[in-house]
Amino acid sequence: MTEIHYDKDADLELIKSKKVAVIGYGSQGHAHALNLHDSGVDVVVGLKANSKSIAKAEEAGLKVMTTAEAAAWGDVIVILAPDQVQRHLYADDIAPNLSAGKTLIFGHGFNIRYGYITAPSNVDVALVAPKGPGHTVRREYLAGRGVPVIVAVENDATGNAWETAWSYSKAIGGLRAGGIKTTFTEETETDLFGEQAVLCGGASQLVMYGFETLVEAGYQPEIAYFEVLHELKLIVDLMWEGGIAKQRWSVSDTAEFGDYVSGPRVIDPSVKEHMKEVLADIQNGAFATRFINDQDAGAPEFLALREKGASHPIEATGRKLRELFAWRPQDKDYTEGSAAR
């Protein structure tokens, strides 16, 4: 049975009694650090000496240390750097500064699940993963709300790892919405699968194929863009608000009927079989190995695929059309792309 915790189930004073070092100041790092600070937690940000994020963190009123100094200082060390660099930060700066009774908290289980980081048996190892991007985590906290979190404990050396994890979850605002108990394995495998098969890989490929089909049939690229990409947000928002049922209730009868009769023609049973293959690669570690090996080699496959995606005709069409909208995003996180993550 699913176990859900809320604010009333956690003691904020527990995390407030500890020194918390947040390693990284990207999307999740900045949100966790600022929410912890606003909740009265003694927090510092750990960054490499040459990090461009030092000025941002200090401008936000946070104390900054080097990664090694922060790891030595903190009772709780929160590792929120990108998956592919975590093991290097851990080996160089964090592991030498661990001592019995400290707590490691991760925002994603990747490195623990696939064995790229192996923590000593005398420290607690926990996971607190907000189910939303960091900027949403921060925005919802400031609004008095929260983003749901999923929480796990891989190693409970002190006997208090769960209590610490729930207290930390409360401090970043997650338990305002609710925290679900999980495992490192479940979080990692389902997160990777969701990204690859549906949210990122699946949705992106479906949109691009839809765009190509219409343009190749002679329709204007601008019209195709509106129909297969622009309006997707409207549909996803309805799903987010009330599930697939609300989306079907909200659209026209024509659209709903087309959903039923044409959806299974496009996303036929073979797609589910391919999804099972994707899940198998995640479960057996093949995807993790491919990703890490490519990153270690300088990311040639990753960068080539990024360039290929950026050169798809739908991107040029979209840039032109978005200039027409007065409401188009203007913030740095949008214009700087992956550099803001």
**Residue 252 labeled ligand binder:** yes
User: Which 3 state secondary structure label does DSSP give 104?
Assistant: strand
Residue 325: is it exposed, middle or buried by C-beta count within 10 angstroms (0-12/13-18/19+)?
A: exposed
| Per-residue confidence (pLDDT) for residue 323, from 0 to 100 | 87
Query: Is residue 326 domain-resident?
Result: no
Q: For residues 133 and 16, state if they share a domain.
A: yes
- How many structural domains comprise the chain? 2
Query: Which residue type sits at 235?
Result: I
Residues 24, 69 within the same domain: yes
Q: What is the pLDDT of residues 118-175, one digit of tens each?
A: 999 999 999 999 999 999 999 999 999 999 999 999 999 999 999 999 999 999 999 9
Check residue 338 and give its pLDDT: 36
Of the candidates 180, 186, 189, 194, the one whose C-alpha atom is nearest the C-alpha of residue 150 is 180
Tell whether 323 is in a known binding site: no
Residue 152 domain-assigned (yes or no): yes
pLDDT at 96 over 90: yes
Q: 21 and 71 in contact (C-beta within 8 Å)?
A: yes
pTM of the model: 0.91
- Consult the annotation and say whether 191 binds a ligand: yes
110-114, 205-209, 329-333: least confident range = 329-333
Residues 49 and 127 in one domain: yes
225-270: per-residue pLDDT in tens? 999 999 999 999 999 999 999 999 999 999 999 999 999 999 999 9
Rounded Cα–Cα distance for residues 93 and 72 (Å): 9
Is 324 or 177 the better-scoring residue by pLDDT?
177
218 is an annotated ligand-binding site residue: no
Q: 335 falls in which pLDDT band (50, 70, 90)?
A: very low
227 a known binding residue? yes
pLDDT of residue 326: 66
169 is in an annotated binding site: no
Among the three residues 148, 181, 214, which one is the final residue of a domain in this structure?
Answer: 181
Mean pLDDT of 40-52: 95
Please report whether residue 23 resides in a domain: yes
Please report, as a single letter, which amino acid is at residue 236. Answer: V
111-114, long-range: CB < 8 A, 24+ apart: 111/79, 111/83, 111/86, 111/87, 112/154, 112/184, 112/188, 113/184, 113/185, 113/188, 113/189, 113/288, 114/188, 114/285, 114/288, 114/289, 114/292
What is the Cα–Cα distance from 114 to 283, expressed in whole angstroms? 9
Within a domain: 339: no
Residue 108 catalytic?
Answer: yes
206 and 308 in one domain?
yes
* C-beta separation of 228 from 211 below 8 A: yes
C-alpha dist (Å) from residue 123 to 15, 69, 102, 168? 16, 18, 5, 16
Average pLDDT across the chain, whole number? 94
Q: What is the side-by-side order of every strand in the sheet holding 42-47?
A: 4-5, 179-181, 149-155, 124-130, 103-106, 76-79, 19-23, 42-47, 63-66
Residue 224 domain-assigned (yes or no): yes
> In the prediction, which pLDDT does 128 show?
98
Percentage above 70 pLDDT, the chain: 95
Q: What is the mean pLDDT of residues 39-43?
A: 98
Catalytic annotation, pick one of 108, 230, 274, 312: 108
Does 134 belong to an annotated binding site?
yes
State the burial class of residue 319 (Cβ atoms within 10 Å of its Cβ: 0-12, 13-18, 19+). Answer: exposed
Same domain, 79 and 9: yes
- Give the range of the structural domain holding residue 310, as residue numbers without chain letter: 198-266+298-321
Distance of alpha carbon 238 from alpha carbon 244, whole angstroms: 8
- Which pLDDT score is estimated for 157? 98
In a domain, 341, yes or no: no
Q: What is the pLDDT of residues 268-325, one digit of tens each?
A: 999 999 999 999 999 999 999 999 999 999 999 999 999 999 999 999 999 999 888 7
Residue 283 annotated in ligand binding: no
6 is in an annotated binding site: no
- Provide the token pair at 98: 């661990």
What residues does 63 pair with on adjacent strands? 44
Cβ neighbours around 8 below 10 Å, total: 7
Give domain status of residue 160, yes or no: yes
